[in-house]
Structure 1
Amino acid sequence: MNYQLPHSIQNCIGEKLTFLEVIKEHDGDKLLVENFVTPKSGPPMHTHFMQDEVLTVVSGQLAYQVKGQPTQYAGVGETVEFKRGTPHRFWNVGEEELHCTGWIKPANTIVFYLTAVYDAQNKSGTHRPEAFDGAYLLTRYASEYEMADMPWFVKKIIIPVTYNIGRLLGKYKHFKNAPKPLKA
């Protein structure tokens, strides 16, 4: 799936993300991004195994955590980097909207994946994606992305069962043009 850039997505819990442009570099495409996060919102603990992520605070205050480490903070003009394979999360700890710019490298399937996640959240009306769509995305792209705090039983039993039920019920037709997952 190719998206015309800039491409903006917004979920029902206060996150807006715009994929601005791709910069071709010798070691992979760098995807420039801009995000806006309402107070107390932000993505849960997650891992992208094949991409580095960098965020610079334009306005507001960012709280972030690398799994197993204490919460840290970044203010206006400060930059945080999450290396590939590092479970992390961030959120707006302030009272005003958080605005960041940054990049993800290499771009890989991130535009499709996050667009589909936000769509599934909007479908459910909560921070949790609609069950079948969430199971599809977590199963198909398990080599690229992981929800780091998801309980083992959910990850190893509930998600695969839900995915297979969805497959049997024909729930994934809207993903027919989904990009192939990358292998490590």
Structure 2
Amino acid sequence: MNYPYTYPHTVENLFGEILIFQSIVEENGEKKLMLLNKLSPGAGPPFHVHYKQDEGLTVNSGLLGYQVDGEEEKFLHEGERVVFKRGEMHRFWNAGEDILECEGWVKPANTLDYFLTGIYNSMNKAGKAEGDPFDSAFLMTRYKSEYDLKDIPNFVKKVVFPITVVVGKLLGKYKHFKDAPKPIQ
């Protein structure tokens, strides 16, 4: 897979999340994406899943709250870590009062940098967490074999998003996605 960015590559959204894709390293024959997260108090991604990737976070400073779907909330302090296995619905957030900084990784790297850059850009473009309807529909439909969000109803994912993508293509809304990497099947 060709990675569309040079590293480090930084994305930021209007909701207190900064994500720095630091590098891609080789580990046991797989590409591993190295990350740095900076989250404002209360900020963090909603329940989500990486179907084809494991994700690890180590707290550098601050208090990390996290939850695996169906389990109790848990908290990590400086130096502590968590690993989310592929297919495990999870969320994490800054549970403290200061900036939370975590080092992380995702393995294999796959399309995560492209997907999250598109999601953050969509959120910033729309000024809301749901993002721009056309961009969000495109990304969630194109990469549905890799990522999912718990809070989006199935009807929206299976009916509304595909219709929105067709309309978006007809309206020429996806020129900025012309070099989108193919999803991992």
* Structure 2 length-normalised TM: 0.95
Say whether residues 1:180 and 2:164 are aligned partners.
no
Counterpart of 2:102 in 1: which secondary structure? Answer: strand
Say whether residues 1:160 and 2:167 are aligned partners.
no
Structure 2: unaligned runs, 5 residues or longer: none
Q: Which amino acid aligns with 1:157?
A: V
| RMSD of aligned alpha carbons | 1.0
Counterpart of 2:67 in 1: which secondary structure? Answer: strand
**1:76 pairs with one of 78, 101, 106:** 78
Q: Structure 2 CA distance, aligned partners of 1:3 and 1:156?
A: 30
Q: CA deviation at 1:27?
A: 3.4
Q: Which amino acid aligns with 2:168?
A: G
Q: CA deviation at 1:57?
A: 0.6
Q: Give the paired residue count.
A: 183
Q: Structure 1 CA distance, aligned partners of 2:117 and 2:86?
A: 20
2:141/2:157 contact within 8 Å kept: no
**What residue in structure 2 maps to residue 114 of structure 1?**
116
Q: Structure 2 CA distance, aligned partners of 1:160 and 1:17?
A: 28
Counterpart of 1:29 in 2: which secondary structure? Answer: strand
* Structure 1 length-normalised TM: 0.96
| Identity percentage of aligned residues | 50
**2:23 pairs with one of 21, 24, 30:** 21
Say whether residues 1:46 and 2:48 are aligned partners.
yes
Q: CA deviation at 1:158?
A: 1.9
1:6-155 to structure 2, matched below 5 A, reads 6-155=8-157
Q: Which amino acid aligns with 1:63?
A: G
Q: CA deviation at 1:151?
A: 1.5
Counterpart of 1:44 in 2: which secondary structure? Answer: coil
Deviates more, 1:24-33 or 1:50-59: 24-33
Q: CA deviation at 1:161?
A: 1.9
Q: Structure 2 CA distance, aligned partners of 1:158 and 1:39?
A: 33
Runs of 4+ in 1 over 2 A off after TM superposition: none
Q: Structure 1 CA distance, aligned partners of 2:60 and 2:74?
A: 17
Q: Which amino acid aligns with 2:58?
A: T
Q: Structure 2 CA distance, aligned partners of 1:108 and 1:59?
A: 28
Counterpart of 2:30 in 1: which secondary structure? Answer: coil
Q: CA deviation at 1:102?
A: 1.4
Q: Structure 2 CA distance, aligned partners of 1:31 and 1:156?
A: 30
Q: Structure 1 CA distance, aligned partners of 2:67 and 2:123?
A: 23
Q: Which amino acid aligns with 2:96?
A: G
